[in-house]
Amino acid sequence: MIHLKNSAQITAMKDAGRITGEALLLARDMVRPGVTTYEIDEAIRRYIEKCGAKPTFLGYGGFPASACISINDEVIHGIPSKKRVLKEGDIVKIDTGATYHGYVGDSARTIPVGAVSAEARKLIEVTRNSFFKGVEQVKIGNRIGDIGAAIDGLVVANGYTTVKRYVGHGVGEEMHESPDVPNFGTAGRGTRLCAGMTIAIEPMVNVGREDVRELPDGWTVKTADGSLSAHYENTIALTSDGVLILTQVEKDF
């Protein structure tokens, strides 16, 4: 069942989204060679808690941290560790969420570590652009398939592939609600979009094949061919006045 939100609920979700977005800005400023993913995760947790919110990821399904931090060919769900040290040329995906007054914000970014390859920079840019291409299709009366078709169309046009095993989703009082929001699809097909829907759109894009594999830790997902992957996500709301990007904050990236 899709839970439509009223204006008061969307305002509450914007507060959760702001905290989430600010936590990602803090994380971005920490990304440099020599920093561990554990240090970044701890800073995110402290910031979210300082804001009076709860780190949504911490304990979710047994996940042991406040952020998923994935490096290079890791697509999503990387577990922060004192042993994972960022190196010059890495790209790091940070995905986190805050629950505030009963509502969730969920957002992710891919961040270069120092000087990275031209391919890595292009991948990050295309992934970000594909998110906004999808958002262009978030209109009352359009369908979920319009979003995915727009995302995948841009990704493929740039020579990359869209991960299809993992998708976006509804967001609200729970981090994962209906409907699923694939990053691929057929225009004009799928659930019809209407005012009050709050969803996370999150393209995951690979340089190589779309295939992925889960590591024995039960969480970390990597590209099957070892190619680079990028991730970009925001929680958005569709209102009668248009789209609100709930996790976008000043100085966003």
Q: What is the pLDDT of residues 100-111, one digit of tens each?
A: 999 999 999 999
Per residue in 14-49, pLDDT (tens digit) is 999 999 999 999 999 999 999 999 999 999 999 999
Q: What is the pLDDT of residues 147-156, one digit of tens each?
A: 999 999 999 9
Compute the average pLDDT of residues 107-116: 98
* Angle in degrees, 0-180, between the axes of helices 118-135 and 144-157, rounded to the nearest 10: 160
Q: Tell me the pLDDT of the chain averaged across its residues.
A: 98
Percent of the chain with pLDDT over 90: 98
DSSP 8-state code for residue 250: T
pLDDT at 84: 98
pLDDT value, residue 111 = 98
pLDDT for res 243: 98
- The DSSP symbol for 237 reads E
| Average pLDDT value for residue range 166-186 | 98
Q: What is the pTM of this model?
A: 0.97
Round to whole Å and give the CA distance between 74 and 206.
10
Buried b (16+ CB within 10 A) or exposed e, 101-136: eebbbbbbbbbbbeebeeebeebbebbbbbbbbbbe
pLDDT at 251 over 90: no
Q: Which fold has domain 7-245?
A: Creatine Amidinohydrolase (3.90.230)
pLDDT for residue 160 is more than 90:
yes
Q: Does position 175 have pLDDT exceeding 90, yes or no?
A: yes
207's CB contacts (< 8 A; 6+ apart) are 119, 123, 160, 227, 228, 229
